Amino acid sequence: MNRNIVIIFALLGLFSYSQQAFAYGKPERLLLATQEWFPYQYQENGVMKGPGIDKIKCVMRAMKQPYQITMTSWDRAQLLTEVGAQHGFFLASHNVKRDEYAIYSDQIEQQNWSWFSLSDATDVDSAMFKSQVEVVALFGSNKWFWLQKNGYRASMKPRSAKAMIELMLKGEVGAILGNDAVIEETIKQMGISYRAISKTRVKSQPLGAYFSKSFVKEYPQFVDEFNRATQQCKGN
C-alpha cells in the first residue's frame, strides 16, 4: 500500500513538473501581425524590410524563437490579436484600450508625433480649430484615438499615410497628426515639395509590441524573455 502511494505521488509530481515546464515554455511558432508602415516595416519584392522588421528578427534570433509575421491593416492586426488569431502585434505605442486585452513590451523603436498642414499659421490647439476644422490620423492608431479623446473633429478613417496626405492636398482636412518618419518618407515618395507643408512637433513616444493576455497566461515568462532580448538588440 505504501509503495503504491509513493508511486502515485511520484506520478503526480512528474505531472506537476511537466505542466509547469509547459507553462513556462514558448510557442512552437510565434504569430505576430503588423501593418505596412514605411519606413518602419514594408514589403519589397515580397520580402519584409525596415528597422521594425529587423528588430523583431533580432529579438527572435536571441530568443531562438520560430515566428511568422502577417502584414495586414493596422485595425485588423489589433483585432486578430484581441480575438486570439494572432499572439501579438507591433510596432505600437501604449494606450489603455489595448491594455484591456494585451500586455505591452519594452521599447523596440521610437517615434515622433507631429502636426502637418499647408499653412504655417495653423493653430491646431485653438478651440476654434478643434470645433471647425476636420483633421485626420491613421485609423486605428494611437494618434487617431488621441484626436477623439482631445476633442478634435476626426471622422475620416484613412488607412495609409498617402491617403491622409491626399485628403490634405484636396482641402478635405486641415491638418494631419502623423509619425514624422512615415509622413516625411511618403511626402518624398509622392514627389511633393517639403516647402509646401509645415510641421509642428507634438511629442515623442516609444514603440513596442503587444501580446494578448490569453497568450501571456499560457506562456507567463514570454514577455520578460522578449524584453531581455530587446535589450540585447538595442543598437542593432
Q: For the domain that residue 44 is a member of, what is the CATH number? A: 3.40.190.10
Structural domain includes residue 11 = no
Work out the number of other CB atoms within 10 angstroms of the CB of residue 236.
12
Structural domain includes residue 58 = yes
Tell me: do 150 and 170 sit in the same domain: yes
Q: Give me the percent of the chain exceeding a pLDDT of 70.
A: 89
Structural domain includes residue 119 = yes
Query: What integer is the mean pLDDT of 214-228?
Result: 97
Q: Which tens digits make up the pLDDT trace of 146-199? A: 999 999 999 999 999 999 999 999 999 999 999 999 999 999 999 998 788 999
Average pLDDT, the chain: 89
Structural domain includes residue 20 = no
Cα separation, 102 vs 216, whole angstroms: 8
Contact 133, 175 (CB under 8 A): yes
Tell me: do 55 and 168 sit in the same domain: no
Tell me: do 174 and 192 sit in the same domain: yes
Which pLDDT belongs to residue 195?
Answer: 82
Tell me: do 116 and 105 sit in the same domain: no
How many structural domains are present in the chain?
2
Structural domain includes residue 33 = yes
Q: Domain range for residue 65?
A: 28-109+207-232
Which pLDDT belongs to residue 121?
Answer: 75
Query: What integer is the mean pLDDT of 2-10?
Result: 39
Q: Which tens digits make up the pLDDT trace of 11-40? A: 344 344 334 434 458 999 999 999 999 999
Cα separation, 230 vs 52, whole angstroms: 12
Predicted TM-score (pTM) of this structure: 0.77
Structural domain includes residue 155 = yes
> How does residue 236 score in pLDDT terms, banded at 50, 70 and 90?
low
135, 139, 199, 146: which is closest to 173 by C-alpha?
135
Tell me: do 102 and 211 sit in the same domain: yes
